[in-house]
Structure 1
């Protein structure tokens, strides 16, 4: 890409790189890291005509959510956080919860294709169920208000 003086790198992260929720520190840490890496890389390769784009999906209909909730229950379900993990899992899996209302995966694929084909792509694409409201809330609300909102969504 440097030699050709053109190209687009697309890094897919998550809105989980904008804010963190309980029992997902391991996940959020990786997503925050991809955000920082992408921001740095974008500045480093710009002089070579290479663009770096970040795609930040919200809730997407994949098996990831079930895997994450099952892992949380396996790791914490029998310990001091067990009750809270069970409430969180039930709230997220209930009809209308974030696990049941995700966007289709092809929406993310479409955004990636648009970013690749755009002559001047945006640096960030927020896509999918609850993605935009979550990013706007993170921008507008204090940390404590975000914590309260997260707690309510997680069944607390």
Structure 2
């Protein structure tokens, strides 16, 4: 007997990890709903069979419009992949609070706001799987990435709470923690990197941070490494709470083994 086709909503599907995940899941028989701010950048997904919708995850009306369309056209979801996010860099002292708030609006509040809207139907049906795409920056922080990491730390904590709370309703919550992935993240953060170097007090450090990033991203893993990990997390009978993948993701395990002062010394030698 043929298994019924499973339905997944993927946010941030216009590029990078989100698009790679949508493409992979389409190949493996999933019904894919792809959402992102740039709907025009998802025409290839539409041509491959995905249902495409615009989404500004920071806007409550945009989130509600998407949820309404999903429930009217597809019913209850089998899975949600919360992938939409963005990053900015800079010292804690100089990054404007407004920028930090924008990071949290996308990476935390928008993501959880969309999840809240979808959960009631999942609960009623007693099933569902939620994949929250975090980062190794949600497990340890490096100079210049404090606010970005803080948003990912918050996502990790909320995901842990959701995993515990939703277990009773048959809903599983999984965190995927990519390392350095070739998604163009370093280019998106370039303007904030340049701005961070404009303050003489922080110029030297931020130049070393940039050099370390450039070296790391030259060896970055392709986005399909994360897509394959997300598929594994979606299709495993009993998924792990966390999956790490990609270049430098092994640093999470190393950091856990070392005393804080030793780890700090290693990071300072590389970036300060």
Q: Could you say whether these structures have the same fold, taking a TM-score greater than 0.5 normalized by the shorter chain as the test? A: yes
SS in structure 2 at match of 1:10: strand
Report the number of matched residues.
151
Q: Distance in 2 between matches of 1:144 and 1:66?
A: 32
Q: Is the 2:181–2:246 Cα contact (8 Å) retained in structure 1?
A: yes
The residue number in structure 1 matching 2:173 is: 52
Q: Is the 2:196–2:203 Cα contact (8 Å) retained in structure 1?
A: no
Q: Are 1:75 and 2:196 counterparts?
A: yes
Deviations for 1:18-69, whole angstroms, at most 9, x for unmatched residues? 1111111110100100100000000000001100000000010121123335
Deviation of 1:87 after TM superposition, in Å, equals 2.3
Q: Are 1:64 and 2:191 counterparts?
A: no
2:262 to 136, 139, 145: 145
Q: Are 1:107 and 2:107 counterparts?
A: no
Deviation of 1:119 after TM superposition, in Å, equals 1.5
Larger Rg: 2
Q: CA RMSD in A?
A: 1.4
SS in structure 2 at match of 1:99: helix
The residue number in structure 2 matching 1:38 is: 159
Q: Report which structure shows greater RCO (CA 8 Å, sep ≥6).
A: 1
| Structure 1 gap ranges (5+) | none
| Structure 2 gap ranges (5+) | 1-121
SS in structure 2 at match of 1:51: strand
Alignment of 1:78-93 (within 5 A): 78-93=199-214
TM-score by length of 1: 0.90
Q: Distance in 2 between matches of 1:24 and 1:76?
A: 14
Deviation of 1:115 after TM superposition, in Å, equals 0.9
2:133 to 5, 8, 12: 12
